Structure 1
């Protein structure tokens, strides 16, 4: 397949095609439909591998043991924990390390105290393997909250036993274990204020104190705040769960530190105590050079119903960091529910979009981020007066703003835009056919890249097609029918996958429960095109299945049944076929299943290395 759609975090869609990667600001209705569930893949350790691992763990040679232990850890084989635990007594460090890793990976907590014995520090010089093993045990036993480990860790931190790495892991384990005994607090407090200790140990002690106590550490934090920037950062960690008046006063002082990392952490803690505590720093929502500081202030402004909050949030819509500008848009959306602020917000968005028109023909627009965010929000505010402006912005130089403009138009659904949107779709088709799709450019310094430009036009065209489908614009039918056939033009194969899929999806919406015979036949041809040397794009096939089901093209009902039965077909197509068959026939087919994946390994053929001197090595294979 030339291109593919990948669902990402937070509704972001990434389209990867011929090495071109572009991010979508929002998913269209075709992608937001959840008509079917996909089964989750399952896996298991095959009997073959389990038996071979069992045999391998009984072999004396180090190579076989290490490989076996690595696989026990990799596949989290819990059934071999007892045999693995016996290798903790092996005198060879690599074997011990492998056994520790395997037991931790398989969550074998019953052997925690046996592993703990391997963390005792003798004072002798040790290899990196020993240090790594002790660290791994410390962190695991801390996470498991093993009470027996507390004495060991307190002793190591208090007496400064071993290398700094082991003092760090002991302090970290004390924080994770969660036992706030007086001895634990005392040793951590002593470590964090000791300027002679390594900074990483002090920082770990501060982190642990912040996890263990929500009071009484204000004097310690005040002492740390008098130090350098590192001391201020430790103070914020010590006060992590504190909410007293004294702690709040200290956090305000830290929020005004010259180091942005300290500012941001202090403000986040003030936000957690009471969002109003952050409002005094609101100017930093746009003035700070640190995105974390800007972000916490932008989020705080969403709960401050004042006019200057609106001005700051409107400015933050153009922030260079995506999380900051997204949060600014969300904050404005929340504040728009306040009748006293609605018109101010709407007018501010109108100004941004109108200013965007001035850069419509600019090669590299300077405020495209604000245009994108304003377009996304104006659609939610139902501002019909901006429809014509949004239509022009569909041809903006930046993809993000173009997609946002289409999204806004789809939500507004202005009747006067039905005809112009059809005309726009015609223009997009002409561009893709000609391979010269307009004035937008790639993200790399404005360089014109034909593949990027085609991919952008393909995405925008697909979104416009879906919009016409949602609006039930039958006048667009001839255009959509023209997009059904598969045409892979040399040099421009990156284009038209999403456009065609969107057009087919739109036909399903327009002709819901009323399948035109010729159109249904053409779409069915795309659905079934999976055996040729040049098979149809998967996204086009999936949307073809959905369109046939939505149209209830009964002549193709059995095709749906076959789609579900084809074990080698794409899982999305099989699941969509099941949905379509149920919609057409009212019969619920069995959910497509994924065959469990068996973990196997060809490495193991354990050999008896202790064969007698008079004979050759004997294989232990059955």
Structure 2
């Protein structure tokens, strides 16, 4: 249970994130993407959500009716409407205030009204809410008091102070009172808070709340109490006492506090290490750098995340090497953030060479996590010497690495790698034919998609036979691979339109009535390739499918017709306006 309450209590603490970098705009790191979706680029019809407020008068009328169930459901609907961003919903505030303050109203309606006022952030109603909390007890106070703490409202400050000295106070109400004293910085509560922190017979949640509030009250003077908590512990110490001590020092920056926090880094508990390191980072990230080796090897991601932040903040070449090792971190969020940070640090001329060197070292290893993220960094930095290694990674056992390597080679656009890329694509196709691979095999379909797009972008006609093998109807080869093949052939034969290839593409475009019709994405790319090839014989079929404007196939057919005839593509269509249709009470439409 000890680890449970500590984990829950610490969950609300801010986690050290990785800074975005300098204030000046910097380029963004690239993610694995496709070129076939942007060449050509279409402005597809967008769907926009506009929340109509036509129902507000109807809801206000419902609130005025003496029906408790109708009132309660209407109040809940108003709160939902506020969360959904309905404009003008504040018009319901007077009615909610009236219902909340009326003594004759049903208890469930009053509670719903109070909850809605808090949802609508009605801070000016704090005096009313405080009175209701005192009058109606826990049913209302459990809603109101946390809101008053959040708003830092002084309406119940005296009650909170008094509650600290009461015996038999409910645990949750005591915790709220403690939090309120800290939020409002009520120094008269310091003495009972110290008592709560010292009392090891109390639940850990109460003691931690008291330590946090004490820490909010003072930026100095609590170091002796923190030392007292951890000073009596033998051996590895008491986790609870250590966490309480760190909470007490949340605003302390004096040398004695820093020394105490440093000492806690020797604890074996990663919870304690994480919190101590986080507080040291808040004081001065340079202090955290003293624990680089220990923190990077920690099993706790929060410890590793904090050291990553410090390494990034240092902006020192000597810190790039340990930072780069985190590209291989087991936590996906951390390794992705480190990749972003290394890319941004490489924008600094003094660090670029070191970043390239260290990230290339990670790429040369075989760990899939590091290879994937290192590829993202080096490709985003357009470091073409990495191309040879990416060719090797096309055969990596992990699908994520294969796909990222194929994407990187496409981005680099180096023709010397094309034969190796074609060899790998041919090998995958052969394994499909022998049933050693299928569309469900990790990464192979997406890799083929990247390779086919590369062949098209670089007009690599040597890949013609393989690309053509993916155009005919064969769902087992995977939709994305076949879509890329259909897109690529247009680049292999610009302005040429071989008859057999035109027939093949038209067969796919027209396959709409079979028991299992062709993929829409494949049909769209076939239309685009017919346009690039200037296949005038395809005009009747292109016009046939250009009629249902708004779909990807329709856009592609319009674009192909423009390539063949010079006819301009249709203008961008207006967005589709949608609204919520699930309100329990709404006005009848004109056609109802």
* Distance 1:135-1:281 versus aligned 2 partners, 3 A rule: same
- How far did residue 417 of structure 1 move? 1.0
Q: Is there any run of 5+ residues in structure 2 with no aligned partner, and where? A: 1-17, 19-29, 83-88
1:67 is the counterpart of 2:79: no
* 1:282 Cα deviation after fit: 1.1
- The alpha carbon displacement at 1:272 in A equals 3.4
Equivalent residue, structure 2, for 1:616: none
Question: Aligned partners of 1:373 and 1:29: how far apart in 2?
Answer: 18
2:502–2:530 contact (8 Å) kept in structure 1: yes
1:199 is matched with 204
Task: Say which of 478, 486, 493 aligns to 1:496.
Answer: 478
Identify the residue that residue 476 of structure 1 maps to in structure 2: 463
Compared CA separation, residues 152 and 42, structure 1 to 2 (3 A): farther
Contact 1:377/1:408 (<8 A) preserved: no
- Residues 46, 600 of structure 1: 8 Å contact kept: no
Say what the alpha-carbon RMSD is for the aligned residues.
Answer: 4.7
The alpha carbon displacement at 1:418 in A equals 1.3
Deviates more, 1:459-468 or 1:136-145: 136-145
Tell me: CA distance 1:121–1:313, structure 2 relative to 1, closer, same or farther (3 Å).
Answer: same
Query: Residue 300 of structure 1: which of 310, 319, 324 is its match?
Result: 310
Q: How does 1:78-157 map to 2 (within 5 A)?
A: 78-88=90-100, 89=102, 90=104, 92-120=106-134, 130-131=138-139, 133-157=140-164
Contact 1:508 1:551 in 2 (8 A): yes
The count of aligned residue pairs is: 539
Show the counterpart of 1:456: 443
Instruction: Give distance in 1, aligned partners of 2:560 and 2:230.
Output: 64
Shift of 1:464: 1.9
Q: State the alpha-carbon separation in 1 of the partners of residues 270 and 463 from structure 2.
A: 54
2:268 to 258, 277, 280: 258
TM-score, normalised via structure 2 length: 0.72
Deviates more, 1:189-198 or 1:108-117: 189-198
Gaps of 5+ in 1: 1-9, 11-24, 357-366, 438-449, 606-621
Q: Distance in 1 between matches of 2:474 and 2:239?
A: 62
What is the deviation of 1:502? 3.0
SS in 2 for 1:300: helix
Tell me, in whole angstroms, the C-alpha distance in 1 between the residues paired with 2:558 and 2:180.
Answer: 50
The Cα offsets for residues 363-410 of structure 1, whole Å up to 9 and x where unpaired, read as xxxx33334344444545766565444323212211122123223323
**Distance in 2 (alpha carbons) for counterparts of 1:251 and 1:156:** 32
What secondary structure does 1:258 align onto? Answer: coil
Alignment CA distance shift 1:144-1:516 (3 Å) = farther
SS in 2 for 1:44: coil
Distance 1:308 1:500, change over 3 A: same
Give 1:149 shift. Answer: 4.2
- CA offsets 1:431-454 (integer angstroms, 9 cap, x no match): 4455432xxxxxxxxxxxx6631x
Matched residues in 2 for 1:149 and 1:529: separation?
A: 72
The answer for the alignment partner of 2:578 in structure 1 is 596
Helix, strand or coil: the match of 2:261?
helix
CA distance in 1, matches of 2:144, 2:449: 53
Deviates more, 1:380-389 or 1:74-83: 380-389
Counterpart in the other structure of 2:10: none
Question: Does the CA-based 8 Å contact 2:130-2:156 persist in structure 1?
Answer: yes
Per the TM alignment, residue 217 of structure 1 is displaced from its structure 2 partner at its CA by 4.7
CA contact 1:206–1:237 (8 Å) conserved in 2 = yes
TM-score normalized by the length of structure 1? 0.69
Q: 1:472 to 1:61 in 2, by over 3 A?
A: same
Change (3 A) 1:591 1:406: same
Cα distance in 2, alignment partners of residues 116 and 509 from structure 1: 71
Question: 1:419-438 to 2 correspondence within 5 Å?
Answer: 419-432=419-432, 435-437=435-437
The correspondence of residues 478-557 of structure 1 with structure 2, limited to 5 A, is 478-488=465-475, 492=476, 496-506=478-488, 534=516, 536-537=518-519, 540=522
